[in-house]
Chains A and B, each alone.
Chain A
C-alpha cells in the first residue's frame, strides 16, 4: 500500500491531465483551473523539508565535532540571522534584509561564478588542442564567433559579425535542433516511464 497508492496516483493523474489537454469544454477547464490552485498550495509546505535537509547536515557536523565544524556554525548563524532580520524587519527595498542581500549575499554569489572565467581561461589554454579535423572545425568556429561577438572583430572586418550570426542561425541551429528532438523525445519517454511506474527512483526510501 505504501508504494501502491503513490504509484496509482501518478498513473491516474498523469493520464487524466494528458487527456484533459485535448478537451476544451468548460467543465474540463474549470477542473484544470482548480487543480492549478491546489498545486500551488500543496507545494508550499515542502519548504520545511528543504530547510531541514540543509540545516540538519550542519547540526550533525557540530554535534559530532567533525572536520571543519566551526564553518557549520557560520552557516547556521548566518541562516538564522538572515531569517530573523527578514521576519522582524521586513523584506522591502531599503530594509536591513535587502541591504544584506544587495551588499553581502549577492556579491559573494556573483564572485563565486566570476572565478569560472579564470578556470575557463586556464582550461582552454591547457587542453584545447586541434588534434583531429573535427576539433579543428570546433576551434575555428569558436574563433570566428569570438571575434564576431566583439567590436574589435567588426573593426578588423565588417563581415565577421555577419558570418558569426550566420553560423549561429544555420549550422548551430541545425545541430541544436537535432539535439532538441532527442531531448524532447527522451523527456516524453521518461514522463511515460514515471507515469507507468517503470521509473521509481522518486519513491526513494520513503515507503
Chain B
C-alpha cells in the first residue's frame, strides 16, 4: 500500500465518488461540491496568474499600447450586470463578440462542412484506376454517394415519405443504423476506458496490487 498522503487523499476522494453507485449519500455530495468549488477556484487563480498579467498588464500597460484600453473598456461593460438600471450595457460586448464571431465563422463553416464534404462525395475519373479498392474504389464511392443522398432524404421532413422518397429514406435509415451502431460500439469503449483508468490508479498507485 502507498504511504504517500496525496495518493491516499486521491484514493479516498475517488471512493467517495464511487459510493454513488450504491445510492446517493452525504459522502458523495460532499465530494461533488468539493471538486466543483475547486474548479471555480482554479479558474480564478489561473486568470490572476496568467491571463491578466499577459494580456492586460504586459500587453497594455508595460507595452504602452494605449489603444488596447478601448477593448478593455468595452469588456468592463460586462460589470454593469451588477447595476440593475444600466445592466443593458453588458449587451454591448456580447453583441460585438457575437457579431464578429458569426461573421468570421460563416464562410469557413460552409466551406468545411458543406463544400468540402460535397467534393469528398463526388465521383471522379481517378476512381476507375481501381474499381474494387475497398476504401477508395469506384464501387465503394458509389456506395458512399448513395448513402449520403439517401441519409439526407431520410432527414428531409418537409414532404411526406411516399414513393421514391420513401425508398431512398428507407435506404438512408440503414446507413444511419450502421452509423449509430458504430457510435454505440465506440461509446462502450469510451466509458469503459474511463472506468479502467480509475481502477488502474486504485490497484497500481494505491494498493500496489499491479506492479
Contacts and interface: CB of A to CB of B under 8 A. Distances in A.
Interface of A: 2-3, 5-7, 9-18, 20-22, 35, 37-52, 54-55, 68, 71-72, 74-87, 90-91, 97, 99-105, 107-118, 120, 124, 134-135, 137-146, 149, 164, 166-185, 187-188, 191-192, 194-195, 202-203, 206-207
Given A47-B47, A74-B34, A141-B177, A108 B14 contact: yes
Interface in B48-70: 48-52, 55-56, 59-60, 68, 70
B109 A176 contact: no
B181 A138 contact: yes
A207 B81 CA distance: 11
12 contacts: A10-B98, A13-B96, A16-B103, A47-B44, A51-B44, A83-B40, A103-B6, A112-B17, A115-B20, A181-B152, A187-B113, A206-B81
A100 B41 CA distance: 11
A181 B114 contact: yes
Given A115-B17, A140-B181, A79 B175 contact: no
B143 A170 contact: yes
Q: Identify whether the interface residues of B are mostly helix, strand, loop, or mixed.
A: helix
Q: Identify whether the interface residues of A are mostly helix, strand, loop, or mixed.
A: helix
Contacts of B151: 174-175, 177-179
Interface centre among A84, A112, A143 (most CB of B within 10 A): A112
B126 interface: no
Contact of B55 (A22, A41, A87, A124): A41
B146 to A, nearest CB: 8
B21 interface: yes
B176 A46 contact: no
- Which 3 pairs show the lowest CB-CB distances between chains A and B? A86-B45, A82-B41, A184-B113
